[in-house]
Amino acid sequence: MVVRMCNRQSIACQATARPGRRSEREAPAESGQRFIAVQLPDTESRYVHPSIRFSISPTMDNSLALLADEVRRKTLWLLDGVGEPQARFAAPGLSNSILWHAGHALVVVESLCVAPATGQAPELPLGWFEKFSWDSQPQTVQDWPTLAEVTEALGQQLPRLIAAIRAATSEQLDQILGPPHDATLRYLIVHGLHDEGNHQGEIWLLRKMWNRSRGG
């Protein structure tokens, strides 16, 4: 298990145990600092870009950065250990697989969070928007990327999102963006991450259904 120690005044995020489990302890008395230990599975560190280090400062929206980190690492944890056959499994009568839900999280966060925050066009591999977007038709797709490719992209996207959040001022976060969004950047980031959280539940359910179908 790897533990990430986070100073409340200047967090240096490194690795991480189980999603959502936090504990606090006092630092040595002479330091005058208080730390939060955030624990997630050891396996996640292989997917998260090594540059993911962020520090809390008065000019940074701490809650959005922490939310992004928490949600994405939970997604990576849910995908860990999923093989390709399991990733392609869809519930009877449905067409959305674990692979699709993972790719959809990538596309939504890129389109609603990263791109508006940076002012740049979404950075997605060719054809992935058509495969994974809200308008996609998974039942018609023949050439899927592997889950490993999607998982790697999810890990690489996280530091880009956190960097964009760090760079945004409160005024920028609360500014209403024009079409097609017509909402504040803060809302778009929360909405995109909330959507990813919804799809985490779908991934978890499909994992259980797969195991049940195999007698697990």
Tell me how far apart the alpha carbons of residues 27 and 29 are, in angstroms, rounded to a whole number: 6
What is the per-residue pLDDT for 61? Answer: 57
Nearest to 21 by CA among 77, 61, 63: 77
Nearest to 71 by CA among 43, 116, 105, 23: 105
What is the per-residue pLDDT for 215? Answer: 78
CA geometry: angle at 5 spanning 62 and 198, to 5°?
50
What is the per-residue pLDDT for 19? Answer: 45
210 sits in which H/E element: helix 185-213
Domains in the chain with CATH codes: 59-213 (1.20.120.450)
Could you tell me the pTM of the whole model? 0.75
Tell me how far apart the alpha carbons of residues 208 and 192 are, in angstroms, rounded to a whole number: 25
What is the per-residue pLDDT for 195? Answer: 97
Token digits of residue 111 = 């389109």
Q: Please state, in angstroms and as integers, the Cα–Cα distance from residue 51 to each residue in 39, 156, 184, 212, following that order.
A: 19, 9, 28, 39
144: left (phi over 0), alpha (psi -120 to 50) or beta: beta
Give start and end residues of each alpha helix (H) in 37-90: 62-79, 84-88
What is the per-residue pLDDT for 179? Answer: 87
User: Can you list the residues of the chain whose pLDDT is less than 70?
Assistant: 1-61, 216
Tell me how far apart the alpha carbons of residues 202 and 196 are, in angstroms, rounded to a whole number: 10
What is the per-residue pLDDT for 180? Answer: 86
Residues 6+ apart with CB under 8 A from 87: 97, 98, 99, 102, 146, 147
Question: Within its chain, how far is the Cα of 160 from the centroid?
Answer: 11
